[in-house]
């Protein structure tokens, strides 16, 4: 999942994971792993972006 999100953002997975770690979001994002894989990946990306922007899930 970090690899797909990184590709979506035109970044490397290492940079994405570092940003997630620095923001304290890695565990929160990974806790949604199962849900994200049941949806279109684009929905997961929107949700992750929302977490960073508002600290809330999209919806």
Residue at 44 is within a domain: yes
Amino acid 43: pLDDT: 93
Query: Are 28 and 51 spatial neighbours (Cβ–Cβ below 8 Å)?
Result: yes
- Answer yes or no: is 59 within a domain: no
**Is residue 33 assigned to a domain?**
yes
pTM of the full predicted structure?
A: 0.84
Per the structure, the complete domain to which residue 29 belongs is given by 2-54
Domain annotation covers residue 24: yes
Residue 18, CA atoms < 13 Å, CB-side half-sphere: 5
pLDDT at 18 over 90: yes
- 22-46: pLDDT as tens digits: 999 999 999 998 998 888 999 999 9
Contact 1, 44 (CB under 8 A): yes
Q: What is the pLDDT of residue 7?
A: 96
Helix, strand, or coil (residue 34): helix
Structural domains of the chain, count: 1
Q: Count of alpha carbons within 13 Å of 48, Cβ hemisphere only?
A: 28
Q: Is residue 22 part of a domain?
A: yes
Q: What is the pLDDT of residue 56?
A: 85
> Does residue 37 sit within a domain?
yes
């Amino acid at each position: 999942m970090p690899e797909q999100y990184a590709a979506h953002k035109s970044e490397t997975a290492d940079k994405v994971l570092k940003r997630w770690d620095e923001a304290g979001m890695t565990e929160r994002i990974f806790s949604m792993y199962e849900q994200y894989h049941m949806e279109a990946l684009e929905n997961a990306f929107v949700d992750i972006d929302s977490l960073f922007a508002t600290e809330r899930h999209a919806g």
